[in-house]
Amino acid sequence: MENLVDQFHFSWLSAFKEIGARVCLEMDELFKGKGYGKPLGKGAGGDTTLVLDRKAENAILGILERLHADGEQFTFISEEMGERKFGREDAVILADPVDGSNNAKYGIPFFSTALVMASGRKLSDAALGYIINIGTGDEFWAIKGAGAFKNGIRITTSDRTDLGMVNIEAASPRRDLQKAMPLLSCARKVRCLGSTALDLACLAAGATDALIVPSASRSFDFSAGWLIVKEAGGLLTDLAGNPLDNIPLGLERTTPFIGASNKTVLDKALQALGGCS
Amino acid sequence: MENLVDQFHFSWLSAFKEIGARVCLEMDELFKGKGYGKPLGKGAGGDTTLVLDRKAENAILGILERLHADGEQFTFISEEMGERKFGREDAVILADPVDGSNNAKYGIPFFSTALVMASGRKLSDAALGYIINIGTGDEFWAIKGAGAFKNGIRITTSDRTDLGMVNIEAASPRRDLQKAMPLLSCARKVRCLGSTALDLACLAAGATDALIVPSASRSFDFSAGWLIVKEAGGLLTDLAGNPLDNIPLGLERTTPFIGASNKTVLDKALQALGGCS
């Protein structure tokens, strides 16, 4: 484990935690005022950029610029501003400044900041994933090979083997609910919470059994969560059950996916998508 | 307004806020340990009683017993213990100790305590409604005729007129999603959050545009929220558009319902239930 988790990882974890604290502070200030929810135009990822997304991204950028001035080399990829080179292209920092912008904008207390540090441009290169629940301050993180943690305590996915609590992200309700209905119909309970990164954190921490994202998602939405779920013992695949390891890290929409707490639940979920058993 | 909001209401609001603080503390203690989620048998309302429900109810009961010893007369109706008389039957305190028990049990940070003080046995007798988000500490309350408040600041429902953010509670996913699908398909965004009381608080505060609960619900789930939504300018009806005023306050399941931020959204939602326009 000494080889996997060195000072380098902990320096970045420390930076991510500083970013998390800063974003929480910015959001707290923002929600006292009236500025949030005001569209600023399209972000690089295609979504309408909101004051809150811009504020969060600037908070992240400020800290990354300081790290670069101190000698760190990396390329920063973020939902709003796109890609910015800080010296190296093979080390990537990927950010979703506010995952669950609609919740933040409307006032549903379930949104987050998600950050990934990767040694290359594929999902399997993700080395450190970090997600913070901006409403509650809960922090989830994982280092490749070293496990997953919530607020410093190790977490594992649930060992339940049924489709008990099934979560969905429905970017386009009509299409996505229709597509996921065979699975949702088999579930004992269903949730649709509005932040993919936090959904994955919930799956990793054993709060849910499965997650389906029927629309093609962007890697900054799920890459931090992918590593945290994986390190907590869970699985993420595309809707045919193929691993996501070779998904490119970037701004483009890549793939729909399904997450599960263990292999038994994954098999049941994939089977259910073809009709309830 | 002097006639509507007197010291009596504020005494009860103060008691409800004390209960809210006490329940938050109990839950905080509980979640550090391992006891939550352990079934204790069936509650009076039919759900499996969990340690956390019992803990929350005991916290409420302790404060109500003290108030009764100080001279208050009322009947207490609660999800877990059923009905208990403290001197009078025409003044009712209705409680859902933990609304969103599954979220609390599994670890999804969206659950609440809901309390109502009513001058009789019908929903329209509700005089004071109180909901606290146990995860964030946000308090929502309304006094009949005096408006609705979140953390002491007046709230109103959204003046948006489209089916933007539509919320559903799906007690039985297969049946409820099927029933609500015509409405959900018309929505720009869909949420399924798992706490009816907090859903209603979100509607009252302008976070969502509509809420559908397709299964017959129990009044302790929605009576606090009914008053808060109404006082914030919103509407709650059954699925045919009839008001809920005469719904009895008690333990039995009464009616499915729909909530909307204003009349335009309500009409659109009711129409959508018969097929998207």
Tokens, residue A84: 């910015």
**Model confidence at B195: pLDDT above 80:** yes
Q: What pLDDT score does A277 carry? A: 41
Query: What's the CATH number of domain A165-272, 3.40.50.720, 3.40.190.80, 3.30.420.40, 3.30.70.20?
Result: 3.40.190.80
Instruction: Inform me whether the pLDDT recorded for B89 exceeds 50.
Output: yes
Residues of chain B positioned with their CB less than 8 A from the CB of A184: 173-174, 177
Looking at domain A7-155, what is its CATH homologous superfamily?
Fructose-1,6-Bisphosphatase, subunit A, domain 1 (3.30.540.10)
DSSP conformational letter for B250: S
Q: Does residue B84 surpass a pLDDT of 60?
A: yes
Q: Which of A190-199, B4-13, B78-87, B110-119 has the lowest mean pLDDT?
A: B4-13
pLDDT reported for residue A240: 94
3-state helix, strand, coil in chain B (%, to 5): 35, 30, 35
A142 contacts: CB under 8 Å, gap ≥ 6: A128, A129, A148, A149, A204, A227, A228, A230, A231, A232
Same CATH fold assignment for domains A7-155 and A165-272: no
Check residue A268 and give its pLDDT. 97
Q: Residue A2: CB partners within 8 Å, gap ≥ 6?
A: none
- How many of the other CB atoms lie within 10 Å of CB of A21? 15
Which of A110, A168, A207 is closest, CB to CB, to B106?
Answer: A207
For residue A109, give the nearest of A19, A198, A26, A177 by alpha carbon: A198
Strands A189-191 and B235-237: unpaired
Question: What is the Cα–Cα distance from A270 to B115, expressed in whole angstroms?
Answer: 41
Residue from the list A133, A173, A189 with its beta carbon closest to the beta carbon of B102: A189
The percent of residues in chain B predicted with pLDDT above 70, rounded, is 91
* Residue B71 to residues A139, A156, B8, B84, B87, Cα–Cα distance (Å): 47, 51, 13, 16, 9
Query: Reduced to 3 states, what is the DSSP secondary structure of residue A147?
Result: strand
Nearest to B191 among A108, A166, A178 (CB): A108
Residue-range domain boundaries for chain B: 7-155, 165-273
Range B71-78 contact pairs with CB under 8 angstroms and sequence separation of 24 or more? B74/B117, B77/B220, B77/B249, B77/B250, B77/B251, B78/B44, B78/B220
CB pairs under 8 A between A and B: 101
Which residues of chain B neighbour A136 with C-beta distances below 8 Å?
Answer: 109, 135-136
Which residues of chain A form beta strands (DSSP E)?
39-42, 48-50, 74-78, 82-86, 92-99, 112-118, 126-133, 139-143, 147-150, 153-155, 165-168, 189-191, 210-218, 235-237, 253-260
Residue partners of B25: CB distance under 8 A and separation at least 6: none
* Contact between B223 and B51 (Cβ < 8 Å): no
Rg for chain B (alpha carbons), in Å? 18
Q: Which residues of chain B have a CB within 8 Å of the CB of A27?
A: none
How many angstroms away from the CA of B246 is the closest CA of chain A? 30
Instruction: List, for residues B105-143, the tens digit of each pLDDT value.
Output: 888 989 999 999 999 999 999 999 999 999 888 999 999
Task: Let me know: does B125 contact B210? Beta carbons within 8 Å.
Answer: no
Using the predicted structure, report yes or no on whether residue B231 has a pLDDT greater than 70.
yes
A58 CA to chain B: closest CA distance, Å?
25
**pLDDT at residue B167, rounded to an integer:** 98
Q: What is the pTM of this model?
A: 0.93
Give the pair of three-digit tokens for residue A17: 């935690």
**In sequence order, which residues have a C-beta less than 8 Å from that of residue A14 and are 6 or more positions away?**
none
pLDDT value at B4 more than 90: no
Cα B144 to chain centroid distance, Å, stands at: 15
Rounded-to-5 percentages of helix, strand, coil across chain A: 35, 30, 35
Contact at 8 Å (CB) between B163 and B188? Answer: yes
Low-confidence residues in chain A, pLDDT < 70: 1-5, 31-43, 46-49, 275-277
Could you tell me which CATH number the domain at B165-273 has?
A: 3.40.190.80
End-to-end CA distance of chain A: 42
Residues on B contacting A at a C-beta cutoff of 8 Å: 102, 106-110, 133, 135-136, 138, 165-166, 168, 170, 173-174, 177-178, 181, 184-194, 202, 205-208
pLDDT at B183 over 50: yes
pLDDT of residue A49: 67
Beta strands B189-191; B210-218: pairing state: unpaired
Per-residue confidence (pLDDT) for residue B118, from 0 to 100: 96
Give the chain A residue whose CA is nearest to the CA of B191.
A192
Residue B108 has its nearest CB partner, among A178, A188, A207, at A207
Please check whether residue A103 is in contact with residue A109, taking contact to mean a CB–CB distance below 8 angstroms: yes
